Every structure is written in structure tokens, then in C-alpha cells.
Amino acid sequence: MVADWRTAPVTPEIAATFVFLEKLTLRPDELSAEDAEAVYAAGVSKQALRDASAVCAMFSMIVRLADSFGWDVPEWETLMARSQAMHDGGYSFTAMGKR
């Protein structure tokens, strides 16, 4: 999956969503209603595509801010130390505030 999502053994729903998200990220000016319709035709709900798009947008924004401000990615050990809390609490603002 990390090496190449196009050849990874994913469901048709995931593959169609990734096609959409890649275009959203790299060529947003080319994105159209037909792109969303292709994802729906693969069996993805409108809410699921909205959710995936929101997550994609947030990560894109975070990456752009990190690049702009020169933020560093924490060391692997630091990420691993935080991973259980992230898994347990998810990414909700309420859960993040309790960490």
C-alpha cells in the first residue's frame, strides 16, 4: 500500500476513493462531479466520500503548514510512544485534549 496503492490488494471502494483523493490533492482544478459519481458507482456512500475528502484536506493543510513553518516530523520512537493514545482516542478534538 505504501509503495504503490494502485497495485495493492484493496477493495474496489478503496481504490475508487484513492483515485478521487489523488486528483483532489494533485489536480483539484480538474476535479468534477463525474469523479465523485465514479466513486459512488464503486459502492462508496456520499458520507464516506465526504469524510475521506475532509481527512485528505486536513492532512494536505497540515503538510503545507509544516513545510511553510519548517516543522519537523517527530522521531519514530516519539511517534510510537504516542501511537497507542492516538489509536485509543482517535483524532477527535476531545480525545486529543485528554492526552
Per residue in 3-58, pLDDT tens? 888 899 999 999 999 999 999 999 999 999 999 999 999 999 999 999 999 999 99
Residue 22: phi and psi, rounded to 5, are: -65, -45
Closest CA to 28 of 68, 57, 65, 1: 57
Distance of CA 68 to the CA centre of its chain: 20
Q: Is residue 36 part of a domain?
A: yes
Residue 74: pLDDT above 60?
yes
Residue 87: pLDDT above 90?
no
Range of the domain at 17: 12-71
- pTM tops 0.85: no
Q: Is residue 35 part of a domain?
A: yes
Tell me which of 80 and 36 has the higher pLDDT: 36
Tally of domains within the chain: 1
